[in-house]
Amino acid sequence: MATDYIVGIDLGTTNSLVAYMQGDSPVVIPGEDGLNLVPSVVALDEKNQIIVGNAARKYLIETPERAVYSIKRLMGRGLEDVQDELKLFPFQLADDLQQGEVLRIKLGGRTYTPPEISAFVLRQLKRNAERFFGAPVTQAVITVPAYFNDAQRQATKDAGRIAGLNVLRLVNEPTAASLAYGLDKKKNGIVVVYDLGGGTFDISILKLHDGIFEVISTNGDTHLGGDDIDNLLIAIALDDIRGDLGLDLRSDSRHNSEAVARIRKAVIEAKIELSSQPSAKLDVDLPDGRKYQREITLEVFEQMIQPIIDRTVGPCKQALKDAGLKPEQIDEVVLVGGSTRIPKVRRLVEELFKRVPHTDLNPDEVVALGAAVQAHILGGGSEITQDMLLLDVTPLSLGIEVAGGVTDKIILRNSTVPASATQHYTTQVDGQTNVAIHVLQGERELARDCRSLARFDLKGVPPMPAGLPRIEVKFLIDANGILRVSAREQRSGQEAEIDVQPTYGLTDEQVENMLLESYDNAEEDFRQRQIIEARREAETILTALVKGKNNHAWRELTNEERRNVGTLEKALVATKDGDDYHAIRASIDALNEATMHLAELMMDTAVSTALKGKAMDDNDMQEGPQAGHPMAKADFE
């Protein structure tokens, strides 16, 4: 249905957002708490209810075994390639995990796969959007790091399906960001997007030409980001505590996980502070009643993080080389991701590309905004997007294993997607009816050094003497960067059946089951939730209004305005306890509209008070500028 809303989702390592195209510009949809960012934190409370986002954050400190963060780092990965992650992050793997099985993480007394945990975050974003629109949301565009491989992309798509979303497209994060930037600029030229987020780093070089966004090259590191800075600072703090206070918090990690979580919170705050201040203080209560206190100067901080941010240099140089460009040929540089707020990162980018980077859009939101633009395009678009087209590339070469364990590359990295390659196979022995194909992704020459994607077993080859069958296998990377394989025996013209065994990933059946488990009575669920949430909104605005009436701004309204507000207030009180969602919604909107002027006056008062340097009294502060108009949409940058 064309009337359906298609949302754009940035499923981040640290924070996630949902956005949509409102008229001619993309906007972020805030959560119930009025905030745009939904922390990618999932917790299981004492009643075994899943809690997501800001509300889940307190569990990180109080009951760390009941909360998970940075799950994106484990998406599409196997047991053997997460060993480094396990040392740095408090992920608790399920005890009965088998080799070759999709990872399962302990959360409270339960275990979940990474796609399921991501699905909880997606479901929350879906709810936020449904609450905002007052209508179900079933279609989405989700962003992924450009350097994500096939398995990581597939895992993200699975997460979408488990959350009840039809994922129309996976868009690369830096490319999405360029869409958000390019929307009102419509310039031609070479643009570099440097995206350093919570857990991933991407660099993409694009050529903009009359609305076509053509990615020329991309590179990155799917395990490099702000998380690494946090972990380094935590490690330094733990060393300090052991050295100076003789307390080893590493030894009994289970017992001390709460203290480590506190340290994590403190170092993240210090890191953020150091983006605008010359120094920051750490002050953490330790389990034995003592305190860990330290001051970090900007100079020391920059020295400490140098090795981490230097890891972005290699990918940048490779991307330039692959694009066949010199830094002087770059017209614009765009910064994306929260970690690009660090002044040292900005200086590094400036040196690398000899350009002062753009920072006019909020680096936390720009990817979601771009995803909303792409969602709009896929939904049919409008005048503002009609000339826009994204031509993205595959970040890694696709190969197949040939004799001697060698990788035969059939689609090279930085090929525009969709891209395809055709290979011919035959049989080795008489009457052979199966042919096995091992598909790999990576740049290395030997198969064992590349990433195993899947093993395909071609079945139903007509029995013939060895070497006679001619099986044509077509490998196609679609616009999501995900591989599709089809095969045909050319002598018989028979479509060969393909049995796919993903090396790291869920089978279709597993995803379906997870979807069913989580999808009980979704429709009814949705209606109930809508009413409950609308009631909650009504309460918020009514409470705010009571306070507003005590503010002297109330007296500045005309008699008619006050009378109008009074009538609508009564109407809302009357409808809010009923079961008619639309009636509640309409009353909220009407009262919201009528109190807009009051909210503006209150804001003016608060601002002028602040400007005069006067301390505001309690009354002004309570529902003052921070809360803004109780029903006003959050401030989009």
Site map 447..476 versus another protein, x via CB under 8 A: -----------------------------x
Interface pick for another protein out of 35, 391, 583, 603 (rule CB under 8 A): 391
- Per CB under 8 A, 313 contacts another protein: no
Residue 410 burial (CB count, 10 A): 18
Q: Least separation, in Å, of the C-beta of 358 and another protein?
A: 25
Interface pick for another protein out of 273, 443, 478, 600 (rule CB under 8 A): 478
In 3D, which of 116, 94, 121 has the Cα closest to residue 105? 94
By C-beta, is 168 or 177 nearer to another protein? 168
- Per CB under 8 A, 479 contacts another protein: yes
Measured CA angle at 114 (ends 111, 116), to 5 deg: 75
Active-site residue numbers?
10, 72, 173, 195
Interface pick for another protein out of 187, 209, 527, 614 (rule CB under 8 A): 209
Instruction: Kindly state the tokens that stand for 285.
Output: 């209560």
Q: Least separation, in Å, of the C-beta of 440 and another protein?
A: 13
Q: Least separation, in Å, of the C-beta of 424 and another protein?
A: 14
Interface pick for another protein out of 97, 389, 603, 621 (rule CB under 8 A): 389
* The one segment of 155-163, 244-252, 400-408, 502-510 that binds another protein by CB under 8 A: 400-408
Cβ proximity of 507 and 100 under 8 Å: no
* The one segment of 9-17, 44-52, 178-186, 385-393 that binds another protein by CB under 8 A: 385-393
In 3D, which of 311, 319, 308 has the Cα closest to residue 191? 319
- Per CB under 8 A, 8 contacts another protein: no
Q: Least separation, in Å, of the C-beta of 352 and another protein?
A: 21
Q: HSE of 415 in the Cβ direction (CA atoms, 13 Å)?
A: 18
Q: Least separation, in Å, of the C-beta of 4 and another protein?
A: 10
Q: Cα dist. 615→137, 548, 608 in Å?
A: 45, 19, 11
Cβ proximity of 175 and 336 under 8 Å: no
CA Rg value for the chain: 27
Q: Which positions from 160 through 179 interact with another protein, judged by CB under 8 A?
A: 168-169
- Per CB under 8 A, 390 contacts another protein: yes
Strand-pair category, 332-336 with 189-196: parallel
* H or E element that contains 543: helix 522-550
Q: Least separation, in Å, of the C-beta of 214 and another protein?
A: 8
Q: Which positions from 402 through 441 interact with another protein, judged by CB under 8 A?
A: 402, 404, 406-409, 415-421
By C-beta, is 117 or 450 nearer to another protein? 450
Site map 282..311 versus another protein, x via CB under 8 A: ------------------------------
Q: Least separation, in Å, of the C-beta of 377 and another protein?
A: 6
- Burial per residue of 53-88, b for 16 or more beta-carbon CB atoms within 10 angstroms, e otherwise: bebbbebbbebbbbbbbbbbbbbbbbbeebeebeeb
Strand stretches in 434-528, DSSP E: 435-441, 451-459, 471-477, 483-489, 494-495, 497-502
Q: 575 in the Ramachandran plot: left (φ > 0), alpha (ψ -120 to 50) or beta?
A: alpha
- Per CB under 8 A, 210 contacts another protein: yes
Q: Which residues of this chain interact with another protein, rule CB under 8 A?
A: 2, 168-169, 209-210, 212, 374, 377-380, 389-391, 402, 404, 406-409, 415-421, 445-446, 476-479
